Amino acid sequence: MRSSDVLVVGGGIIGLVTAWRAARRGLRAAVVDPEPGGGAARVAAGMLAAVTELHYGEETLLGLNLASAARYPAFVAELEEAAGHGVGYRACGTLAVALDADDRAHLRELHALQTRCGLTSAWLSGRECRRLEPMLAPGVRGGLRVDGDHQVDPRRLAAALVVACERSGVVLHRARAERLVVVRDRATGVLLEGGGELTADQVVLAAGSLSGRLAGVPEEVLPPVRPVKGQVLRLRVPPAYAPFLSRTVRAVVRGSHVYLVPRADGELVVGATSEELGWDTTVTAGGVYELLRDAHELVPGLTELPLTETLAGLRPGSPDNAPMLGPSALPGLHLATGHYRNGVLLTPVTGDVMAEVLTTGVLPDEARPFSPLRFSSAPPVRQEQPV
Ligand code: GLY
């Protein structure tokens, strides 16, 4: 099929969930990506950290994050049934701890902000933290227990979305989109690298950190997405050491965020650096050193574990750290990108929002603050008729 109702450019988790949900709503959907199921999800730890990653000034984004977190159990059940395999969703909660007086003050501020936002988190003494997680360093000064911040395995999530898409009739074009085709001021498809064209009634640009680089997109419509590098380590907890940690443990160590995400299958993910270095995805000695140094301060026994993988990925950063969802200023072109630190968390709500706008032409209320038009210098899109 070279023509579809919806063509999604980008086969990461955001592109795949958009296509899957659109297909479930009866649209003929296609995805173009050289490697569907790849992208930043291959690197991500998979924390669903709406509460522990709350930042000042991001209360609007918090609403979307919480809405997506609340949908996760039902979303996972539906996806696992569609794909026939698990995605490693684990309702384990998170413990954010402080190692010194500065970290403790920072965490107290976060606790106050969470309380003002009506969120549930509990302040614990160092001793209470260690009772929950005995592998924590003796010097832990206190922490925040957040029972609602869970985790999922992004690689299994991506693999399940590929299968769910295929089983729902989504056509996966394993090719690179080279250029958006615009005919009479309307997006009509893409040209492929090496030749060929795919056409569609509606095109969705969901190419993660690459979303700002598709040729043919008018400059005033190009999403202002930039790559923010994150280096991540994977370790393995041998059965004799289990349970090493029972929940996600995180801290700010000398200003850097470090988190440890323990999977049920024994994988322990340690992340992540945050580096503004353009398209560089080199794993550096310095990045690995800093992650291991900070993680070791938090959980000294970690240095005994086998180190199985080091990897760097690119978060799709946006100017206000929030995603761009829905119609762009160019008729026929939608965006689903700029999810920055929350792509895995926002996968369920993104799928629902995009399927709704693609089938009805109306952006749901919960997504209105995230319209791409907030960054566009082009005149607003004409109101599309519901299809
Ligand atoms: N949300 C975790 C990260 O972006 O590193």
Task: Point out which residues pair with 258 in neighbouring strands.
Answer: 251
Residue 275 bridge partners (DSSP): 229
Q: Are residues 300 and 183 in the same domain?
A: no
Q: Indicate which CATH number applies to the domain containing 186.
A: 3.50.50.60
Query: Is residue 165 located within the same domain as residue 291?
Result: no
Same domain? 188 vs 121: no
| pLDDT-based confidence at residue 383 (cuts at 50, 70, 90) | very low
Residues 163 and 310 grouped into a single domain = no
pLDDT at 167: 98
CA distance 330 to 333: 6
What is the rounded distance in angstroms from the CA atom of residue 271 to the CA atom of residue 96? 14
Domains contained in the chain, number: 2
Tell me: do 138 and 261 sit in the same domain: yes
The mean per-residue pLDDT over the stretch 129-151 comes to: 97
In a shared domain, residues 75 and 162: yes
Atom of ligand 1 nearest to the CA of 49: 1
| 272 Cα nearest atom in ligand 1 | 5
Residue 81 sits in the same domain as residue 123? no
Which residue's CA lies nearest to atom 4 of ligand 1?
A: 341
CA 319 – ligand 1 centroid, Å: 16
Q: Which atom of ligand 1 is nearest to the CA of 344?
A: 1
- This prediction's pTM: 0.95
Residue with tokens 């979307």: 64
Q: Pick the last residue of a domain from 275, 298, 317.
A: 317
Residue where a domain terminates, one of 263, 284, 317: 317
**Best CA proximity match to 57, nearest among 275, 250, 252, 321:** 321
Residue 160 three-state SS: helix
141 and 255 inside one domain: yes
Q: Judge if 171 and 78 occupy the same domain.
A: yes
Beta carbons of 245 and 135 less than 8 angstroms apart? yes
Whether 378 and 367 share a structural domain: yes
In tens, the pLDDT along 249-262 reads 999 888 889 999 99
Whether residues 200 and 278 share a domain: the answer is no
Q: Please, what's the b/e burial string for 39-57 (b: 16 or more CB within 10 A of its CB; e: otherwise)? A: bbbbbbbbbbbbbbbbeee
Residue with CA at minimum distance from ligand 1 atom 5: 272
Q: What is the domain range of residue 340?
A: 1-93+150-224+319-387
Q: How far is the CA of 341 from the centre of ligand 1 (A)?
A: 4
**Contact predicate 16/154, CB 8 Å:** no
Does residue 385 surpass a pLDDT of 70?
no
Pocket of ligand 1 (CB under 6 A): 47, 49, 53, 230, 271-272, 315, 341
- Both 66 and 162 in one domain: the answer is yes
- CA–CA dist 353, 204 (Å, integer): 13
